[in-house]
Amino acid sequence: VDSVVQNNDDGGLSVVGATANLLRTDILDNDRDYGGGIYMNTGASVTASDSLIKDNWGWDQGAGVYLRNGSVFSAIEGTRIELNVTPSDCEDGGGVAAIGTGTEVIIDASQVLSNTALTRGGGLYLAGGAQAWVQNGSMVKGNRAIGPGVGGGGVYVADSLSSLHVDGSRFFGNSADPNGGGIHNSFGTVHLNRARFHDNQARFSGGAVYNNGGSITCRNSYFDQNWVLDYHGGAISSIGPVGTLDVVRCEFQQNTTHAGNGGAIFADEPYTFVARSYFSENTAPGEGSALFLSGMHLTGSPEAVIENNYLVDNPGSSLYAEYI
């Protein structure tokens, strides 16, 4: 309570098979290979309330927080995970890296701000069955995966066992090189509800969200002014024959790709369902300023269902489909 853990060169706090509660506590300027700020293992539980985890370094994974083996980390009541860095020659989780089945991260009414990873998950990295919840007005803002390679400026979901749940929270100004400025989902599961994605950017694809062979469910969410520089999907890019993209009651405004197709949504081969959504002023120099569908088959059951949407003031061909 009301404490400072600062400038330690073998990590700030290590919790193994135990419980720690932090209240108004600052974890600052510590470094370690795994978990510069906080290291957790073997079913550990840490709850940080109204606390600050800032300017820590992780030389391999999890500069701010690293947890594995069924551990649970909760950031609540305005806790900030900020400016933590995995520098050169390491890879994952500038803010938080979570690994393994039963491992959980809860960001509740708190912020993940301006963290940096070399390749995957500037803000948050999930792998091996880890799950995360970002909820109750939380903010994921200004995080970076600097690349070049992979991505996930805000969050990276690494495999089919891992999942991310976002409810009533915001992703602002995150960036990635190459894919998934806000979220990069690689074969995992992502649920979005009442989320807002604003001004996220990627060099290649998926300014806000990039889905590679995973499942994306999006409800009641708002995507505005997200963009990609070189390829496709200003707001969402979804690829891979085993993936799914399910969008209902969402709004897409002023998203853009500067050099490709699908100003708002680009879908190449996955099953795609878009209903009761609104698309306005999205742009693409190629085809499909609102939606671009590629790799759809003419035979068999429908691979894309686009119904009851409003497409307004999207220049050029607002909806474009290629069949094979």
CA–CA distance, 110 with 113 (Å, rounded to integer): 10
CA–CA distance, 238 with 186 (Å, rounded to integer): 10
Q: What is the dihedral of CA 51, 57, 62, 64, to 10 degrees?
A: 0
CA–CA distance, 63 with 114 (Å, rounded to integer): 12
Q: What does pTM read for this prediction? A: 0.97
Tell me what pLDDT residue 246 has. 97
Q: What is the pLDDT of residues 161-170, one digit of tens each?
A: 999 999 999 9
Q: Which residues of 48-62 are buried (b: 16+ CB within 10 A; e: fewer)?
A: bbebbbbbbbbbbbb
CA–CA distance, 101 with 162 (Å, rounded to integer): 8
Which residues of the chain carry a pLDDT beneath 70? 89-90, 297-302, 324
- At CA 141, angle to CA 140 and CA 143, rounded to 5? 100
Tell me what pLDDT residue 295 has. 76
Q: What is the pLDDT of residues 10-41, one digit of tens each?
A: 999 999 999 999 999 999 999 999 999 999 99
Instruction: Indicate the burial class of 302 (C-beta count within 10 angstroms; 0-12, 13-18, 19 or more).
Output: exposed
Tell me what pLDDT residue 87 has. 81
Distances (CA, A) of 66 to 2, 29, 39, 111, 178: 22, 15, 5, 17, 24
Q: Which residues of 2-35 are buried (b: 16+ CB within 10 A; e: fewer)?
A: eeebeebeebbbebeeeebebeebbbbbbbbbbb
Tell me what pLDDT residue 128 has. 98
Tell me what pLDDT residue 13 has. 98
**Is 38:31 a contact under the CB 8 Å cutoff?**
no
Rg (CA), the chain: 19
| Residue 149, C-beta contacts closer than 8 angstroms, at least 6 positions apart | 119, 177, 178
Tell me what pLDDT residue 267 has. 94
Largest CA-CA distance found in the chain, in angstroms, rounded: 65
Tell me what pLDDT residue 132 has. 98
Q: What is the pLDDT of residues 104-132, one digit of tens each?
A: 999 999 999 999 999 999 999 999 999 99
Q: Prior bond to 148 cis, omega within 30?
A: yes
Tell me what pLDDT residue 26 has. 98
